[in-house]
């Protein structure tokens, strides 16, 4: 089959990738749509650094399986939706032709787990077909188009951040950064019924999308800070969705006393903060990652039922041959937000 792969930092399209064969409890799915995630963009450029940082971490379960080899083909694509083709042995799956998405992990018959994120051997969504775990399949409801169902995964990231924040309706939210992650947070805040959602971004296009997703106030930091718009009288719930050094210290310095900061943007560089700001104002700092299976299902339901309109986020739909172009094009926030690959 055909698939886009990453090899030594370069994106290539191969025509001779081995066809995936469903094992026990697995289902073969025809990929209809797969969104390009910001983490994939970063991994394409800084994969070695990401792996090195991962090896330094302790206190997390060791991953099973072989280590990732960046000199070999790396399969990517975890924001996918498709149609059921064939069920493997002992797999209870919807009928062939059913549109589905799934929590992006593959359960193995030996009890191991393979994340469908970056892998030398497990096909991802940037290919014509992939294997999914039957127990994790979610039929796409309400005739939702597959290129919109593919946004279930990124929107679940925002939902998880909002759920973990425990924000109340009357609290003010500040979202710093209106890329796909920040926009997902804004959509989840709207669904939660938060009265005031202040979004800040330098990009006019991203600020316009923030307003469409539910931001009540949008600010250009060159003209007005989010802190000035929010005021200093009451605590804020701040969502950091930029992921560059210096933002955390800015939050500690400017956020009102008793505020909570939720870090959902992934910063891969070492950073420096002044703890005096945080301790003086009794600020809370929380880091969040990913989502639960329940949040993934809730995200799909919100999109399918029209609680959140994700269509404006899709700025292009391309075939496999245009994946290398798409990775470059996403560097321009005025032109693109979410590009969907349709193998």
**Tokens 């679940």, residue located:** 156
- Cα–Cα distance between 256 and 235 in angstroms, integer? 5
Beta bridge partners of 219: 200
- Cα–Cα distance between 90 and 24 in angstroms, integer? 6
**Is the pLDDT reported for residue 334 higher than 70?**
yes
- Structural domain contains residue 304: no
**186 and 145 in one domain?**
no
pLDDT digits (tens, 9 = 90+) for 273-303: 999 999 999 999 999 999 999 999 999 999 9
Q: Which two tokens stand for residue 319?
A: 């075939």
**Tokens 């018959």, residue located:** 109
**87 and 10 in one domain?**
yes
Question: Residues 229, 219: contact at Cβ < 8 Å?
Answer: yes
- Structural domain contains residue 119: yes
DSSP symbols for 165-191 = HT--TTSEEEEE--SHHHHHHHHHHHH
**20 and 124 in one domain?**
yes
**187 and 81 in one domain?**
no
pLDDT digits (tens, 9 = 90+) for 155-170: 999 999 999 999 999 9
CATH code, domain carrying 237: 3.40.50.720
Beta-carbon contacts of 222 under 8 Å, excluding residues fewer than 6 positions away, are 202
Query: CA of 248: how far to CAs of 270, 277, 304, in Å?
Result: 12, 11, 35
pLDDT digits (tens, 9 = 90+) for 311-327: 999 999 999 999 999 99
**235 and 169 in one domain?**
yes
**225 and 198 in one domain?**
yes
Beta bridge partners of 237: 173, 260
Question: Residues 258, 283: contact at Cβ < 8 Å?
Answer: yes
The reported pLDDT for the residue numbered 110 is 85
| Secondary structure string (H, E, C) spanning 5-27 | EEECCEEEEECCCCCCCCCCCEE
- Structural domain contains residue 305: no
Nearest to 336, CA basis, from 243, 209, 151: 209
The reported pLDDT for the residue numbered 232 is 78
DSSP symbols for 115-135 = ESSSBSSS--SSBSEEEEEGG
Nearest to 18, CA basis, from 122, 132, 141: 122
- Cα–Cα distance between 270 and 259 in angstroms, integer? 24
DSSP state of 132: E
- Structural domain contains residue 19: yes
Q: Please state the rounded mean pLDDT for residues 19-46.
A: 94
**132 and 184 in one domain?**
no
Nearest to 226, CA basis, from 262, 207, 201, 203: 201
pTM for the predicted model, two decimal places: 0.95
Nearest to 29, CA basis, from 117, 133, 115, 110: 133
**Strand 338-341 to 26-35 pairing:** antiparallel
Nearest to 254, CA basis, from 286, 229, 288, 272: 229
| Secondary structure string (H, E, C) spanning 28-43 | EEEEEEEECCHHHHHH
**243 and 324 in one domain?**
no
**175 and 105 in one domain?**
no
**184 and 132 in one domain?**
no
- Structural domain contains residue 159: yes
Number of folded domains that form the chain: 2
CATH code, domain carrying 13: 3.90.180.10
**Tokens 């960046």, residue located:** 70
**205 and 89 in one domain?**
no
Q: How confident is the model at residue 62 (pLDDT cuts 50, 70, 90)?
A: low
Q: What is the domain extent for residue 28?
A: 3-151+310-341
* Phi, psi at 102, each rounded to 5°: -165, 150
The reported pLDDT for the residue numbered 65 is 59
Query: CA of 287: how far to CAs of 21, 139, 164, 217, 260, in Å?
Result: 38, 31, 9, 24, 11
pLDDT-above-90 percentage for the chain = 87
pLDDT digits (tens, 9 = 90+) for 190-208: 999 999 999 999 999 999 9
Q: Give Rg (Cα) of the chain.
A: 20
- Structural domain contains residue 303: no
Q: Which two tokens stand for residue 89?
A: 């042995």
Question: Residues 115, 9: contact at Cβ < 8 Å?
Answer: no
- Structural domain contains residue 301: no
- Structural domain contains residue 272: yes
- Cα–Cα distance between 227 and 221 in angstroms, integer? 10
**176 and 121 in one domain?**
no
């Amino acid at each position: 089959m055909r698939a886009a792969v990453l090899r030594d930092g370069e994106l290539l399209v191969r025509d001779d990738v081995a066809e995936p064969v469903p094992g026990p409890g697995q289902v073969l799915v025809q990929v209809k749509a797969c969104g390009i995630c910001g983490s994939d963009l970063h991994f394409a450029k800084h994969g070695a650094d990401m792996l090195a940082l991962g090896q330094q971490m302790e206190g997390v379960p060791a991953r099973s399986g072989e280590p990732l080899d960046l000199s070999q083909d790396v399969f990517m694509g975890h924001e996918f939706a498709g149609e059921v083709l064939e069920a493997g042995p002992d797999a209870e799956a919807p009928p062939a032709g059913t549109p589905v998405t799934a929590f992006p992990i593959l359960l193995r018959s030996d009890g191991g787990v393979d994340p469908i994120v970056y892998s030398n051997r497990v096909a991802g969504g940037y290919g014509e077909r992939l294997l999914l775990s039957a127990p994790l399949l979610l039929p796409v409801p309400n005739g939702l188009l597959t290129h919109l169902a593919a946004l279930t995964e990124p929107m679940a990231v925002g939902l998880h951040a909002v759920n973990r924040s425990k924000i109340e309706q009357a609290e003010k939210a500040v979202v710093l950064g209106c890329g796909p992650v920040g926009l997902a947070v804004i959509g989840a805040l709207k669904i939660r019924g938060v009265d005031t959602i202040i979004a800040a971004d330098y990009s006019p296009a991203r600020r316009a999308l923030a307003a469409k997703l539910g931001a009540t106030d949008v600010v250009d930091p060159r003209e007005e800070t989010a802190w000035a718009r929010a005021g200093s009288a009451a605590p804020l719930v701040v969502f950091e969705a930029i992921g560059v050094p210096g933002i955390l210290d800015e939050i500690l310095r400017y956020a009102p006393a008793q505020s909570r900061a939720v870090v959902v943007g992934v910063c891969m560089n070492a950073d420096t903060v002044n703890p005096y700001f945080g301790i003086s104002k009794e600020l809370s700092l929380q880091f969040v990652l990913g989502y639960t299976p329940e949040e993934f299902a809730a995200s799909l339901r919100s999109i399918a039922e029209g609680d959140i309109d994700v269509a404006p986020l899709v700025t292009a739909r391309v075939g496999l041959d245009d994946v290398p172009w798409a990775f470059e094009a996403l560097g321009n926030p005025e032109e693109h937000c979410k590009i969907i690959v349709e193998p």
